[in-house]
Amino acid sequence: MCARFTRRQFVGMTGAVAGFALLQACAPAPTPTPVPPKPAAPAAKAPAAAAKGTVSEWGWVNWAENDKWKGLDGRPPREHFEGETGIKLEYTNYAYADYLAALKTALPAGAGPDVFEINWQVLQPYASPDIVLPLDDLAKVTWGDWKKQFIPGLIDEVDRLGRGQAYFIPIYGQLLGYLFYSLPIFEKNKLSVPKTWAEFEAVCETLKKSGAIPLAVGGKDFWQQVDWFMSLTEVAAPGKLDEVQRGNGKLTDKDIVQTMHLHKKIYTSGWFAEGALGVPTAGGSQLFHEGKAAMMLLGTHVISWSKVATLKEASLTWGTFVVPDSKGLVATAWAMSIPKAAKNRDQAWRLVQWSSAEKGQEIVAAAPEPPAHMKYKMAGVGTVFDKNIIEPLIENMARGKNRLRWMECSALIDAVGPVMQGVASNQLTPEAAMAELEKTRETRCQK
């Protein structure tokens, strides 16, 4: 049972110190041997004087050392964090599939790290105070009305998954359901950006007849199929997927089944490159980069996949628009959680705090990725690329309505890719595919 503090006692604590007291009171480490208390960290406003020690982190984005995160000044995040806080960062990087397997074994057994990286899919099975520390009260002590300081769509995910508690703090977001398009190819074929799905289909047909590949996609990677599915549900039945996940309706309802009919038409009409089902994401992107494909379904994350020099070269050749009749999918691309069994909880919170609201956000912006904290802005490349790509995407992140990157149930997420491929290869009818998804939802997803 949590220890109680009077309001006077609680308010009298400084941010990090009060946070440490909350963590110790509400989520003690599961160990039979009492551990002597560590020195409390001082307030968050003085990171250079924060308590020293060690913090362990597991993840898949290599937050400590990856070259992607050196755009600020050539130094990796580890150097910045350790230099500013005096805390040693012990980072373990995994391939994504291996990471999911490691968490599945470690977290329920209380054998995980002090901090683990998450997206919706990663955290969903563990969103319980028995496994993960609730962070809302701690965030309030540290930042005040903290939710107003982050991109609204990301906070929607925090609230949706936590059902009243914050089990993670977002580090950076994504905007999915957007198409990048080739300005030269569109100009050559006298095409304008389609505003409706009917116009989009007409553009695809014109491009196909011209000899260009209308759409580049990596159909081999199921997450690409999930992005398509979520975008197309908003074309076929706006808001219906969200309603179904809240218990209102089924995936076999006639309106949302139209999603799979749209998907089938894209493949059978030849608007994707031949063999798209067997091409990984990188292969699909390459067709677009080489000027062979006119459009590419991706989002803000593709920006940081390219070198800044490449972006400057592409400045005059890329534009972007949302999937017609749909909405951008605002999402948490990457966030941090603290396991209940974390051994170094004060250092763990200091890492989360630094990554989500301090220098870590500057590093994210320089990557460039969209920072979760609204104080920080995604870095441009100094050309019209900023106006054509970055500004529209970031503007829509702030006002997007359809705000779930992943569906709520991880089993349903896993089922989408195979049935989408089944429809595209004519092994499943659209109705049969949606019936498979509804069966998964009813039998394997939480009520």
Indicate whether 194 pLDDT > 80.
Answer: yes
Cα separation, 201 vs 209, in Å, equals 13
Q: Which pLDDT belongs to residue 316?
A: 60
pLDDT digits (tens, 9 = 90+) for 233-273: 989 998 888 889 878 999 999 999 999 999 999 989 999 88
Per-residue pLDDT averaged across 29-52, rounded? 42
Which one is predicted more confidently, 305 or 354? Answer: 354
Q: Does position 311 have pLDDT exceeding 60, yes or no?
A: no
The string of pLDDT tens digits covering residues 132-180 is 999 999 999 999 999 999 988 888 888 877 777 899 999 998 877 778 8
Residues in the chain: 447
Q: Which of 12-16, 58-62, 275-279 has the lowest mean pLDDT?
A: 12-16
Most confident of 7-11, 228-232, 259-263, 375-379: 259-263
Q: What are the structural domain ranges in the chain? A: 7-31+46-174+332-366, 178-298+409-444
Residue 211 has pLDDT above 70, yes or no: yes
What pTM does this model have? Answer: 0.72
Of the two residues 404 and 388, the one the predictor is more confident about is 388
CA terminus-to-terminus distance, the chain: 28
Output the CA angle 347-163-336, nearest 5 degrees.
25
How confident is the model at residue 225, as a pLDDT?
80
Give me the CATH code for the 7-31+46-174+332-366 domain, please.
3.40.190.10
Q: In terms of pLDDT, which residue wins out, 315 or 183?
A: 183
Backbone angles phi, psi at 174, to 5 degrees: -140, 155
- Read off the pLDDT of each residue in 40-49 and give the average, rounded to a whole number: 40
pLDDT at 103: 96
Whether the pLDDT of residue 330 is over 80: the answer is no
- pLDDT-wise least confident of 220-234, 283-297, 298-312, 374-388: 298-312
Q: What's the pLDDT at 41?
A: 40
**pLDDT reported for residue 27:** 39
Q: What is the pLDDT of residue 213?
A: 94
Q: What is the DSSP secondary structure assignment for residue 37, as one 8-state letter?
A: P
State residue 262's pLDDT score: 96
Instruction: Please give the DSSP secondary-structure letter assigned to residue 131.
Output: T
CA 30 to chain centre: 30
Quote the mean pLDDT of the chain: 81
Judged against a pLDDT cut of 60, whether residue 18 lies above it is answered with no
With 70 as the cut, is the pLDDT of residue 118 above it? yes
Residue 358 in contact with residue 373, Cβ under 8 Å?
A: no
Report strand pairing: 53-59 vs 293-298: unpaired
Q: Sheet harboring 53-59: ordered strands across?
A: 87-93, 53-59, 115-118, 329-337, 169-176
Has residue 430 got a pLDDT over 60?
yes
27: which residues sit within 8 A by CB, 6+ positions away?
129, 133, 134, 340, 345
pLDDT attached to residue 50:
45
Tell me the range of 40-54, 85-99, 110-124 where mean pLDDT is highest.
Answer: 85-99
Per-residue confidence (pLDDT) for residue 399, from 0 to 100? 63
Q: Which residue has the higher pLDDT, 386 or 440?
A: 440
* Cβ–Cβ < 8 Å for 170, 135: no
**Which band of pLDDT confidence, cut at 50, 70 and 90, is reported for residue 12?**
very low
Separation of alpha carbons 404 and 332, rounded Å: 8
178-298+409-444 CATH, one of 3.30.1330.10, 3.40.91.10, 3.40.190.10, 3.30.2020.30: 3.40.190.10
Domain 7-31+46-174+332-366 identical in fold to domain 178-298+409-444: yes
* Collapsed DSSP state (helix, strand, coil) of residue 391: helix
329 DSSP β-pair partners: 176
Element (H, E) at 271: none
C-beta separation of 391 from 169 below 8 A: no
Residues 179-196, mean pLDDT to the nearest whole number: 93
Angstrom distance (rounded) from CA 260 to CA 283: 24
In this predicted structure, the answer to whether residue 99 has a pLDDT above a threshold of 60 is yes
Helix boundaries (H) for 110-180 = 120-123, 136-143, 152-162
Torsion of CA 352, 353, 358, 361, to 10 degrees: 30
Residue bearing the bigger pLDDT, 418 or 4: 418
